[in-house]
Amino acid sequence: MGDNMSSVNNIIKMLIGIVLLIFGIVWYTGPKITGYELLGYWPELLSLLKATIGGFLLFVGLIIAWMGYDDYKMDQEMTKEEKEKKEEKKD
């Protein structure tokens, strides 16, 4: 029963996400009503993208560098463990 509820909850979350995604797309690309800018904020979307690209690149670069450092440390530890195992077999 727990697995079924978990699946239902995941489907509901996906549907909510899809509805919000569609609403966001319509918000930025929708029609403009004469005299009112109710929807259709293309210039604002472009400004938002320009402002966030640098931060996104910094964040992704940090994550990639951290993952590389972590892999480097793990390789060093595995090499050390392999050396110790070889020494134990010799004795």
State what percent of residues in the chain have pLDDT above 70. Answer: 84
Place of tokens 């569609």: 22
Whether residue 25 contacts residue 41, with contact meaning beta carbons closer than 8 Å, is answered with no
Cite the DSSP H helix spans in the chain. 2-29, 42-90
Say what the pTM is.
0.50
CA 30, CA 33: separation in Å to the nearest integer? 10
Q: Dihedrals φ, ψ of 41, to 5°?
A: -100, 60
**Of 9-13, 21-25, 33-37, 45-49, the least confident:** 33-37
Whether residue 27 contacts residue 38, with contact meaning beta carbons closer than 8 Å, is answered with no
State what percent of residues in the chain have pLDDT above 90. Answer: 31
